[in-house]
Structure 1
Amino acid sequence: MEDHRLFRFPKPQWMNSANTRTGGVYAAGALFSIALFTLVDAATYSKSHKNGSDFHMNFVDWIPGIFSALGMIIINSIDKSRLSADNFSYSGDGVAWKARVILFMGFAAMAGGLAGGVTVMVLKYVVQDASWPALWFGVGNVVANGLVMLSSVVLWVSQNMEDDYTYNLAL
């Protein structure tokens, strides 16, 4: 058994193929589009004439989704190799700690988006005793933010898979 491995069992070989990477990127895009559809569906239903309640979605309901999407963009813009560039030394240009700070800010934005979605749902719909069709506005917001987080995880993993046939062209 190799000494540099973290886990006892090896990673399956099917996880290193280019098709798996492409499928992961497509799955992340599908999850993000379902999240966006869920949020837009709740917003359009809240403004339609079929909504017989006094509850409507406004800009406050969109803020958590905006923060989750920004966090997703920040997280997936960072190259995984930049996170360990310094090897815990104090020399060099300090790329690793900058990448880690930016990665933390991205995760904080996504976590804040999900927490904001839960907060909006509880304060705006649950506390005010909204019945089910109106409660969907808050539930859809939380589902959308959760799907954005899941999409970000799938995209991060699939983009940073190591492949034997990948070439590094950096000089």
Structure 2
Amino acid sequence: MSLPRSNYDPRRVCLNPFPNLDFHLGKCRRTIGVYIAGGLFALAHWLFLDVEVPSSHYHPPPDAPYDSAPVHVTFVDWVQGILSVLGFLVVNLIDKDRIKGEEAYADARAVWRTRLFLFIGFALMAGGLAGSVTILVLKYVVPSYPERFTYYSYANVSQNIAIMLSAVTLFLATVNLVPGSRKQYAVLIQ
């Protein structure tokens, strides 16, 4: 499928342009996005702490000869959340204007490195999600533990999904949708 030459921009990545969020959310787009991202990030960690605390404080009945809990939350369950948080930080510490490769940044290698770091950040988050699903299957579902123990891993998967959604929401909320706005601010400052 080819587009007419007047509508085609060879620098575009996607064939169809993304919707204009400024039109739908108005001036409060950035504020709303930051609050939603913060809420998702807090929800993610609340889900995991909701599992970690009961797991660490589980006591067997007094007449049990040994710990009757078949499984506990260990460091293996923490690793996926740590990877997702690192990916979240990498993705949202990147200068969004460098990703676009505008004329203000003439160094093509800087644009390439920025896109590589963005990929690494999303790869860290995807690795965290894949690891949490793997732990869910191998540690909790295959041995067929009772439902109260498999909830440990469901919360871990939910934590990683919420962190990914938070990272994407914050990234989209803080991206500069107005082209050349940094140049306009530089002119206003001078």
Work out whether 1:124 is the aligned partner of 2:139. Answer: yes
Give structure 2 stretches of 5+ with no counterpart: 1-5, 10-14, 61-67
Q: Secondary structure at the match of 1:169?
A: helix
Q: Structure 1 residues 30, 9: closer, same or farther in 2, change over 3 A?
A: closer
What letter matches 2:51 in structure 1? A
Paired residues, what number? 166
**Pairing 1:1-171 to 2, within 5 Å after superposition:** 3=7, 7=16, 11=20, 13-17=23-27, 19-49=28-58, 53-85=69-101, 92=107, 94-162=109-177, 168-169=185-186
CA contact (8 A) 1:64 1:117 kept: yes
Calculate the aligned-residue CA RMSD, in Å. 2.8
Q: Secondary structure at the match of 1:146?
A: helix
Overall identity of the aligned pairs, in %: 36
Query: How far apart, in 1, do the equivalents of 2:112 and 2:17 lie?
Result: 29
2:65 match: none
Query: How far apart, in 2, do the equivalents of 1:161 and 1:84 lie?
Result: 10
- 1:16 shift after superposition: 4.5
CA contact (8 A) 2:132 2:156 kept: yes
- Please give the per-residue CA displacement for 1:7-65, whole angstroms capped at 9, x wherever unaligned: 47962513351x12101101100000000000111111112236863210010000000
Query: How far apart, in 1, do the equivalents of 2:100 and 2:178 lie?
Result: 19
- 1:81 shift after superposition: 1.3
Give structure 1 stretches of 5+ with no counterpart: none
- 1:93 shift after superposition: 5.5
Q: Secondary structure at the match of 2:70?
A: coil
Q: Structure 1 residues 9, 153: closer, same or farther in 2, change over 3 A?
A: closer
- State the structure with more CA Rg: 2
Moved over 6 A (4+): none
Query: How far apart, in 1, do the equivalents of 2:20 and 2:185 lie?
Result: 22
